[in-house]
Amino acid sequence: MNYTTQMDAAKKGIITKEMEIVAKKEQIDVQALRELIAKGQVVIPANKNHKSLSPEGIGKGMKTKINVNLGISKDCYFIEKEMEKVKKAIEMKAESIMDLSNYGKTAEFRKNLVEYSPAIIGTVPIYDAIGFYDKELDEITAKEFLDVVEKHAKDGADFVTIHAGLNKEAADTFKRNKRLTNIVSRGGSLLFAWMEVNNKENPFYEYYDRLLDICEEYDVTLSLGDGCRPGCNADSTDAVQIKELITLGELTLRAWERNVQVIIEGPGHMTLDEIKTNVLLEKKLCHDAPFYVLGPLVTDIAPGYDHITSAIGGAIAAAAGADFLCYVTPAEHLRLPNIEDMKEGIISTKIAAHAGDLAKGINGARELDDAMSKARSDLDWDMMFKLALDSEKPKRYREESMPEHSDTCTMCGKMCAVRNMNKVLKEKEIDIFNNK
Protein backbone atom coordinates (compact mmCIF):
# COMPACT_ATOMS: atom_id res chain seq x y z
CA MET A 1 0.00 0.00 0.00
CA ASN A 2 1.35 3.44 -0.93
CA TYR A 3 1.54 6.40 1.44
CA THR A 4 2.64 10.03 1.20
CA THR A 5 3.71 10.86 4.76
CA GLN A 6 4.30 9.15 8.09
CA MET A 7 0.85 10.35 9.17
CA ASP A 8 -0.77 9.03 6.01
CA ALA A 9 0.86 5.64 6.58
CA ALA A 10 -0.25 5.61 10.21
CA LYS A 11 -3.86 6.37 9.27
CA LYS A 12 -3.79 3.54 6.72
CA GLY A 13 -2.45 1.06 9.29
CA ILE A 14 0.99 0.86 7.66
CA ILE A 15 4.07 0.37 9.86
CA THR A 16 6.98 2.24 8.26
CA LYS A 17 10.64 1.47 8.84
CA GLU A 18 10.90 4.81 10.65
CA MET A 19 8.15 3.76 13.06
CA GLU A 20 9.94 0.49 13.76
CA ILE A 21 13.19 2.30 14.59
CA VAL A 22 11.46 4.84 16.84
CA ALA A 23 9.45 2.16 18.66
CA LYS A 24 12.67 0.31 19.46
CA LYS A 25 14.38 3.48 20.68
CA GLU A 26 11.42 4.42 22.85
CA GLN A 27 10.78 0.87 24.15
CA ILE A 28 7.11 0.97 23.15
CA ASP A 29 4.79 -1.15 21.01
CA VAL A 30 4.99 -0.13 17.37
CA GLN A 31 1.22 -0.35 16.91
CA ALA A 32 0.70 2.01 19.85
CA LEU A 33 3.19 4.38 18.23
CA ARG A 34 1.37 4.18 14.90
CA GLU A 35 -1.90 5.14 16.58
CA LEU A 36 -0.28 8.18 18.22
CA ILE A 37 1.10 9.32 14.85
CA ALA A 38 -2.31 8.85 13.22
CA LYS A 39 -3.82 11.14 15.87
CA GLY A 40 -1.10 13.77 15.43
CA GLN A 41 0.10 13.33 19.02
CA VAL A 42 3.52 12.07 17.88
CA VAL A 43 5.54 13.10 14.84
CA ILE A 44 8.49 11.46 13.11
CA PRO A 45 10.14 14.24 11.08
CA ALA A 46 11.62 12.32 8.16
CA ASN A 47 12.01 14.08 4.82
CA LYS A 48 12.10 11.61 1.94
CA ASN A 49 15.37 13.19 0.76
CA HIS A 50 17.21 12.94 4.11
CA LYS A 51 18.94 9.62 3.53
CA SER A 52 21.35 9.73 6.51
CA LEU A 53 18.56 10.24 9.08
CA SER A 54 18.24 8.16 12.23
CA PRO A 55 14.56 8.86 12.92
CA GLU A 56 13.23 10.11 16.25
CA GLY A 57 9.72 10.40 17.66
CA ILE A 58 8.55 13.65 19.24
CA GLY A 59 5.37 13.83 21.28
CA LYS A 60 3.18 11.98 23.75
CA GLY A 61 4.93 9.16 25.60
CA MET A 62 8.27 9.81 23.87
CA LYS A 63 11.49 10.88 25.56
CA THR A 64 11.77 14.67 25.54
CA LYS A 65 13.99 15.60 22.60
CA ILE A 66 16.36 18.57 22.31
CA ASN A 67 17.21 20.83 19.38
CA VAL A 68 20.49 22.64 18.71
CA ASN A 69 20.48 25.89 16.72
CA LEU A 70 23.44 26.80 14.52
CA GLY A 71 24.19 28.26 11.10
CA ILE A 72 26.14 30.93 9.24
CA SER A 73 25.46 34.67 9.36
CA LYS A 74 26.94 37.76 7.74
CA ASP A 75 28.98 38.66 10.83
CA CYS A 76 30.13 35.08 11.44
CA TYR A 77 30.49 33.49 8.03
CA PHE A 78 32.53 30.41 8.96
CA ILE A 79 31.11 27.30 7.34
CA GLU A 80 33.88 25.04 8.64
CA LYS A 81 33.32 26.17 12.24
CA GLU A 82 29.60 25.55 11.95
CA MET A 83 30.26 22.04 10.63
CA GLU A 84 32.50 21.46 13.65
CA LYS A 85 29.52 22.38 15.81
CA VAL A 86 27.37 19.96 13.85
CA LYS A 87 29.81 17.12 14.50
CA LYS A 88 30.02 17.96 18.22
CA ALA A 89 26.22 18.21 18.55
CA ILE A 90 25.83 14.76 16.99
CA GLU A 91 28.62 13.36 19.17
CA MET A 92 26.71 14.70 22.20
CA LYS A 93 23.56 12.94 20.94
CA ALA A 94 21.38 15.93 20.19
CA GLU A 95 18.33 14.57 18.39
CA SER A 96 17.74 17.65 16.23
CA ILE A 97 19.74 20.43 14.57
CA MET A 98 18.18 23.61 13.21
CA ASP A 99 20.04 25.44 10.46
CA LEU A 100 19.34 29.14 11.01
CA SER A 101 21.71 30.30 8.25
CA ASN A 102 20.76 33.63 6.73
CA TYR A 103 23.67 34.75 4.57
CA GLY A 104 25.94 33.52 1.80
CA LYS A 105 26.16 29.93 0.60
CA THR A 106 23.27 28.68 2.69
CA ALA A 107 22.27 25.99 0.20
CA GLU A 108 25.80 24.54 0.22
CA PHE A 109 25.86 24.43 4.02
CA ARG A 110 22.37 22.92 4.18
CA LYS A 111 23.28 20.23 1.63
CA ASN A 112 26.39 19.25 3.60
CA LEU A 113 24.39 19.22 6.82
CA VAL A 114 21.66 16.96 5.45
CA GLU A 115 24.14 14.57 3.84
CA TYR A 116 26.19 14.28 7.04
CA SER A 117 23.65 14.38 9.84
CA PRO A 118 21.75 11.43 11.33
CA ALA A 119 19.96 13.99 13.51
CA ILE A 120 16.67 15.59 12.47
CA ILE A 121 17.25 18.76 10.43
CA GLY A 122 15.05 21.82 10.79
CA THR A 123 15.19 25.15 8.97
CA VAL A 124 13.47 28.54 8.96
CA PRO A 125 13.04 29.34 5.24
CA ILE A 126 12.14 33.00 5.75
CA TYR A 127 15.63 33.61 7.20
CA ASP A 128 17.09 32.40 3.93
CA ALA A 129 14.77 34.31 1.59
CA ILE A 130 16.46 37.72 1.71
CA GLY A 131 19.92 36.34 0.98
CA PHE A 132 18.58 33.85 -1.56
CA TYR A 133 16.93 36.54 -3.67
CA ASP A 134 19.48 39.26 -2.84
CA LYS A 135 16.84 41.94 -2.50
CA GLU A 136 15.07 43.87 0.22
CA LEU A 137 12.36 42.26 2.30
CA ASP A 138 9.49 44.34 0.91
CA GLU A 139 10.40 43.38 -2.67
CA ILE A 140 10.00 39.64 -2.10
CA THR A 141 6.72 38.23 -3.39
CA ALA A 142 4.45 35.72 -1.70
CA LYS A 143 5.34 33.15 -4.36
CA GLU A 144 9.04 33.69 -3.73
CA PHE A 145 8.61 33.02 -0.01
CA LEU A 146 6.89 29.73 -0.80
CA ASP A 147 9.50 28.82 -3.41
CA VAL A 148 12.19 29.04 -0.73
CA VAL A 149 10.18 26.64 1.43
CA GLU A 150 10.06 24.24 -1.51
CA LYS A 151 13.82 24.57 -1.99
CA HIS A 152 14.43 23.64 1.66
CA ALA A 153 12.03 20.70 1.32
CA LYS A 154 13.85 19.43 -1.78
CA ASP A 155 17.17 19.81 0.05
CA GLY A 156 15.98 17.43 2.76
CA ALA A 157 14.83 19.54 5.72
CA ASP A 158 12.81 17.29 8.03
CA PHE A 159 10.85 20.14 9.55
CA VAL A 160 10.42 23.82 8.70
CA THR A 161 9.42 26.63 11.02
CA ILE A 162 6.67 28.68 9.40
CA HIS A 163 5.07 31.63 11.20
CA ALA A 164 1.68 31.14 9.58
CA GLY A 165 -0.30 32.18 12.66
CA LEU A 166 0.85 35.80 12.59
CA ASN A 167 -1.94 36.87 10.25
CA LYS A 168 -3.58 40.28 9.94
CA GLU A 169 -5.89 39.58 12.86
CA ALA A 170 -2.94 38.74 15.11
CA ALA A 171 -1.05 41.81 13.86
CA ASP A 172 -4.03 44.01 14.72
CA THR A 173 -4.25 42.42 18.16
CA PHE A 174 -0.56 43.19 18.68
CA LYS A 175 -1.05 46.83 17.69
CA ARG A 176 -3.96 47.22 20.12
CA ASN A 177 -2.09 45.62 23.05
CA LYS A 178 1.23 47.31 23.82
CA ARG A 179 4.15 45.12 24.74
CA LEU A 180 7.39 45.86 26.51
CA THR A 181 9.51 44.02 23.91
CA ASN A 182 7.18 44.06 20.88
CA ILE A 183 7.79 41.09 18.52
CA VAL A 184 11.06 39.31 19.28
CA SER A 185 10.75 36.37 16.90
CA ARG A 186 13.11 37.03 13.99
CA GLY A 187 10.78 35.33 11.53
CA GLY A 188 7.76 36.95 13.10
CA SER A 189 9.25 40.43 12.93
CA LEU A 190 10.22 39.97 9.27
CA LEU A 191 6.72 38.84 8.35
CA PHE A 192 5.08 41.63 10.36
CA ALA A 193 7.28 44.18 8.58
CA TRP A 194 6.49 42.66 5.17
CA MET A 195 2.76 42.72 5.90
CA GLU A 196 2.84 46.33 7.12
CA VAL A 197 4.93 47.68 4.25
CA ASN A 198 2.95 45.84 1.55
CA ASN A 199 -0.44 46.04 3.26
CA LYS A 200 -0.99 42.35 2.53
CA GLU A 201 -1.89 39.18 4.41
CA ASN A 202 0.84 36.87 5.68
CA PRO A 203 1.66 34.78 2.57
CA PHE A 204 2.07 31.61 4.61
CA TYR A 205 -1.43 32.08 6.01
CA GLU A 206 -3.04 33.22 2.77
CA TYR A 207 -1.47 30.43 0.70
CA TYR A 208 -1.45 27.80 3.43
CA ASP A 209 -2.78 25.12 1.08
CA ARG A 210 0.26 25.60 -1.17
CA LEU A 211 2.48 25.22 1.89
CA LEU A 212 0.72 21.95 2.71
CA ASP A 213 1.27 20.75 -0.88
CA ILE A 214 5.01 21.13 -0.36
CA CYS A 215 5.05 19.47 3.05
CA GLU A 216 2.95 16.55 1.83
CA GLU A 217 5.11 15.95 -1.24
CA TYR A 218 8.38 15.65 0.70
CA ASP A 219 6.95 14.56 4.08
CA VAL A 220 8.18 17.70 5.79
CA THR A 221 6.87 18.22 9.30
CA LEU A 222 5.35 21.65 9.73
CA SER A 223 6.62 23.43 12.84
CA LEU A 224 4.10 26.21 13.31
CA GLY A 225 6.20 29.05 14.65
CA ASP A 226 5.21 31.39 17.46
CA GLY A 227 5.89 34.72 15.78
CA CYS A 228 4.19 36.47 18.69
CA ARG A 229 6.01 34.65 21.48
CA PRO A 230 6.83 36.81 24.51
CA GLY A 231 10.36 38.21 24.66
CA CYS A 232 10.21 38.98 28.37
CA ASN A 233 8.24 37.99 31.45
CA ALA A 234 6.14 41.15 31.21
CA ASP A 235 4.69 40.06 27.84
CA SER A 236 3.96 36.40 28.60
CA THR A 237 0.53 34.81 28.15
CA ASP A 238 -0.88 38.03 26.70
CA ALA A 239 -3.64 38.64 24.16
CA VAL A 240 -1.52 38.43 21.02
CA GLN A 241 0.29 35.25 22.11
CA ILE A 242 -3.04 33.51 22.79
CA LYS A 243 -4.62 34.92 19.62
CA GLU A 244 -1.84 33.39 17.54
CA LEU A 245 -2.07 30.09 19.43
CA ILE A 246 -5.79 29.79 18.63
CA THR A 247 -4.96 30.28 14.93
CA LEU A 248 -2.21 27.67 15.13
CA GLY A 249 -4.76 25.20 16.46
CA GLU A 250 -6.98 25.84 13.44
CA LEU A 251 -4.03 25.46 11.07
CA THR A 252 -3.10 22.19 12.77
CA LEU A 253 -6.44 20.63 11.87
CA ARG A 254 -6.07 21.78 8.27
CA ALA A 255 -2.61 20.20 8.09
CA TRP A 256 -3.83 16.91 9.54
CA GLU A 257 -6.55 16.76 6.90
CA ARG A 258 -3.69 16.66 4.38
CA ASN A 259 -1.70 14.12 6.47
CA VAL A 260 0.99 16.72 7.22
CA GLN A 261 2.63 16.26 10.60
CA VAL A 262 2.62 19.29 12.93
CA ILE A 263 4.69 20.61 15.82
CA ILE A 264 3.57 23.72 17.71
CA GLU A 265 6.30 26.14 18.79
CA GLY A 266 5.91 27.78 22.18
CA PRO A 267 6.94 30.80 24.21
CA GLY A 268 10.45 31.75 25.21
CA HIS A 269 10.02 33.87 28.37
CA MET A 270 7.67 33.43 31.33
CA THR A 271 7.75 33.09 35.10
CA LEU A 272 7.69 29.69 36.74
CA ASP A 273 4.03 29.84 37.72
CA GLU A 274 2.85 30.29 34.10
CA ILE A 275 4.67 27.36 32.49
CA LYS A 276 2.24 24.58 33.32
CA THR A 277 -0.68 26.76 32.21
CA ASN A 278 0.99 27.47 28.87
CA VAL A 279 1.57 23.77 28.21
CA LEU A 280 -2.08 23.07 29.04
CA LEU A 281 -3.25 25.87 26.73
CA GLU A 282 -1.18 24.54 23.83
CA LYS A 283 -2.37 20.99 24.30
CA LYS A 284 -6.01 22.09 24.51
CA LEU A 285 -6.04 24.69 21.73
CA CYS A 286 -3.79 22.71 19.38
CA HIS A 287 -5.43 19.31 19.89
CA ASP A 288 -2.53 17.63 21.71
CA ALA A 289 -0.02 18.27 18.92
CA PRO A 290 3.63 18.00 20.09
CA PHE A 291 4.83 21.15 21.87
CA TYR A 292 8.26 22.67 21.16
CA VAL A 293 9.48 25.38 23.55
CA LEU A 294 12.43 27.75 23.55
CA GLY A 295 13.42 27.46 27.19
CA PRO A 296 11.30 28.98 28.52
CA LEU A 297 13.55 31.48 30.29
CA VAL A 298 12.17 32.09 33.76
CA THR A 299 13.93 35.39 34.47
CA ASP A 300 15.26 38.17 32.27
CA ILE A 301 18.23 39.32 34.37
CA ALA A 302 20.86 36.64 33.66
CA PRO A 303 22.65 37.39 30.37
CA GLY A 304 25.61 35.05 30.12
CA TYR A 305 23.73 32.43 32.14
CA ASP A 306 20.57 32.01 30.12
CA HIS A 307 21.34 28.32 29.62
CA ILE A 308 20.52 28.02 33.32
CA THR A 309 17.36 30.16 33.27
CA SER A 310 16.29 28.14 30.25
CA ALA A 311 17.02 24.75 31.81
CA ILE A 312 14.93 25.62 34.85
CA GLY A 313 11.98 26.51 32.63
CA GLY A 314 12.59 23.61 30.26
CA ALA A 315 12.50 21.05 33.07
CA ILE A 316 9.18 22.38 34.34
CA ALA A 317 7.75 22.55 30.80
CA ALA A 318 8.85 19.00 30.02
CA ALA A 319 7.41 17.72 33.29
CA ALA A 320 4.12 19.45 32.42
CA GLY A 321 3.97 17.80 28.99
CA ALA A 322 6.21 19.73 26.59
CA ASP A 323 7.79 17.34 24.10
CA PHE A 324 10.71 19.14 22.48
CA LEU A 325 13.15 21.65 23.99
CA CYS A 326 15.18 24.12 21.96
CA TYR A 327 18.51 24.62 23.63
CA VAL A 328 19.67 27.99 24.90
CA THR A 329 23.37 28.76 25.33
CA PRO A 330 25.23 31.17 27.65
CA ALA A 331 25.59 33.44 24.59
CA GLU A 332 21.82 33.91 24.16
CA HIS A 333 20.94 37.59 23.55
CA LEU A 334 24.66 38.44 23.24
CA ARG A 335 26.36 36.83 20.21
CA LEU A 336 26.55 33.76 18.01
CA PRO A 337 27.53 30.88 20.31
CA ASN A 338 30.91 29.21 19.90
CA ILE A 339 31.45 25.49 20.31
CA GLU A 340 31.97 25.74 24.08
CA ASP A 341 28.74 27.73 24.45
CA MET A 342 27.01 25.09 22.37
CA LYS A 343 28.26 22.28 24.61
CA GLU A 344 27.01 24.09 27.73
CA GLY A 345 23.66 24.65 26.07
CA ILE A 346 23.32 21.01 25.03
CA ILE A 347 24.15 19.64 28.47
CA SER A 348 21.87 22.04 30.35
CA THR A 349 18.99 21.28 27.98
CA LYS A 350 19.56 17.52 28.16
CA ILE A 351 19.42 17.80 31.96
CA ALA A 352 16.10 19.65 31.67
CA ALA A 353 14.72 17.09 29.22
CA HIS A 354 15.73 14.14 31.39
CA ALA A 355 14.34 15.77 34.53
CA GLY A 356 11.05 16.16 32.70
CA ASP A 357 11.13 12.53 31.57
CA LEU A 358 11.59 11.37 35.16
CA ALA A 359 8.52 13.35 36.19
CA LYS A 360 6.49 11.99 33.25
CA GLY A 361 7.55 8.40 33.91
CA ILE A 362 9.00 7.91 30.42
CA ASN A 363 10.23 4.38 29.68
CA GLY A 364 13.89 3.93 30.58
CA ALA A 365 14.41 7.31 32.28
CA ARG A 366 14.46 6.10 35.88
CA GLU A 367 16.70 3.15 35.03
CA LEU A 368 19.49 5.55 34.04
CA ASP A 369 19.32 7.35 37.39
CA ASP A 370 19.20 4.08 39.29
CA ALA A 371 22.29 2.87 37.43
CA MET A 372 24.15 6.06 38.37
CA SER A 373 23.07 5.68 42.00
CA LYS A 374 24.35 2.10 42.02
CA ALA A 375 27.70 3.24 40.61
CA ARG A 376 27.94 5.93 43.30
CA SER A 377 27.07 3.44 46.00
CA ASP A 378 29.80 1.14 44.67
CA LEU A 379 32.25 4.07 44.34
CA ASP A 380 32.71 2.92 40.76
CA TRP A 381 34.16 6.08 39.22
CA ASP A 382 34.57 4.66 35.71
CA MET A 383 30.91 3.62 35.59
CA MET A 384 29.84 7.06 36.88
CA PHE A 385 31.73 8.73 34.04
CA LYS A 386 30.27 6.29 31.51
CA LEU A 387 26.71 7.01 32.62
CA ALA A 388 27.10 10.78 32.90
CA LEU A 389 25.46 13.04 30.31
CA ASP A 390 28.92 14.55 29.85
CA SER A 391 31.77 12.22 30.77
CA GLU A 392 34.57 14.71 30.06
CA LYS A 393 33.86 17.27 32.77
CA PRO A 394 33.43 14.93 35.77
CA LYS A 395 36.50 12.95 34.71
CA ARG A 396 38.52 16.17 34.46
CA TYR A 397 37.31 17.35 37.87
CA ARG A 398 38.44 14.14 39.52
CA GLU A 399 41.80 14.11 37.76
CA GLU A 400 42.44 17.73 38.80
CA SER A 401 42.05 16.86 42.49
CA MET A 402 42.96 13.26 43.17
CA PRO A 403 42.48 11.97 46.75
CA GLU A 404 45.00 10.02 48.78
CA HIS A 405 42.71 6.98 48.71
CA SER A 406 40.97 5.90 45.51
CA ASP A 407 37.69 5.05 47.25
CA THR A 408 37.19 8.69 48.29
CA CYS A 409 37.22 12.16 46.78
CA THR A 410 38.92 15.32 48.06
CA MET A 411 35.68 16.72 49.47
CA CYS A 412 35.29 14.21 52.33
CA GLY A 413 38.35 11.99 52.12
CA LYS A 414 38.07 9.00 54.45
CA MET A 415 35.05 10.58 56.12
CA CYS A 416 33.07 9.75 52.97
CA ALA A 417 29.60 8.57 53.95
CA VAL A 418 29.37 6.10 51.09
CA ARG A 419 32.76 4.56 51.84
CA ASN A 420 32.08 4.19 55.55
CA MET A 421 28.55 2.82 55.14
CA ASN A 422 29.90 0.21 52.71
CA LYS A 423 32.52 -0.77 55.30
CA VAL A 424 30.27 -0.91 58.34
CA LEU A 425 27.58 -2.91 56.53
CA LYS A 426 30.26 -5.42 55.52
CA GLU A 427 31.54 -5.45 59.14
CA LYS A 428 34.88 -3.97 58.15
CA GLU A 429 36.97 -1.50 60.14
CA ILE A 430 36.16 2.18 59.55
CA ASP A 431 39.78 3.38 59.35
CA ILE A 432 39.36 7.14 59.30
CA PHE A 433 42.50 8.07 61.24
CA ASN A 434 44.96 5.31 60.40
CA ASN A 435 46.67 5.12 57.03
CA LYS A 436 45.12 1.93 55.68
DSSP assignment string, 325-392: EE---TTTTTS---HHHHHHHHHHHHHHHHHHHHHHT-TTHHHHHHHHHHHHHTT-HHHHHHHSS-SH
**Model pTM?**
0.95
- Cα 352 versus chain centre, distance: 12
Q: How confident is the model at residue 266 (pLDDT cuts 50, 70, 90)?
A: very high
50 annotated ligand binder: no
229 annotated ligand binder: yes
User: Coil, strand or helix: which one is 264?
Assistant: strand
69 annotated ligand binder: yes
From the options 3.40.50.450, 3.20.20.540, 3.40.50.2000, 3.90.1010.10, give the CATH code of 6-360. 3.20.20.540
307 annotated ligand binder: no
Average pLDDT over residues 343-357: 98
Q: How confident is the model at residue 301 (pLDDT cuts 50, 70, 90)?
A: very high
Q: How far apart are CA 189 and CA 166, in angstroms?
A: 10
Average pLDDT over residues 51-77: 92
For residues 429 and 353, the model is more confident at 353
Give per-residue pLDDT as tens, 1-29.
Answer: 799 999 999 999 999 999 999 999 999 99
187 annotated ligand binder: yes
413 annotated ligand binder: no
pLDDT at residue 204 in the model: 98
412 annotated ligand binder: yes
pLDDT at residue 106 in the model: 86
Average pLDDT over residues 300-313: 98
Q: How confident is the model at residue 435 (pLDDT cuts 50, 70, 90)?
A: low
227 annotated ligand binder: yes
Q: Which residue, among 253, 259, 167, 252, has the nearest Cα to 213 in the 3D structure?
A: 259
User: Coil, strand or helix: which one is 129?
Assistant: helix
Give per-residue pLDDT as tens, 164-207.
Answer: 999 999 999 999 999 999 999 999 999 999 999 999 999 999 99
* Per-residue pLDDT at 436 exceeds 70: no
354 annotated ligand binder: no
163 annotated ligand binder: yes
Q: CATH 3.20.20.540 in the chain: give the residue spans.
A: 6-360
pLDDT at residue 246 in the model: 98
Tally of helices (H runs) and strands (E runs) in the chain: 19, 10
Give per-residue pLDDT as tens, 119-143.
Answer: 999 999 999 898 888 889 999 999 9
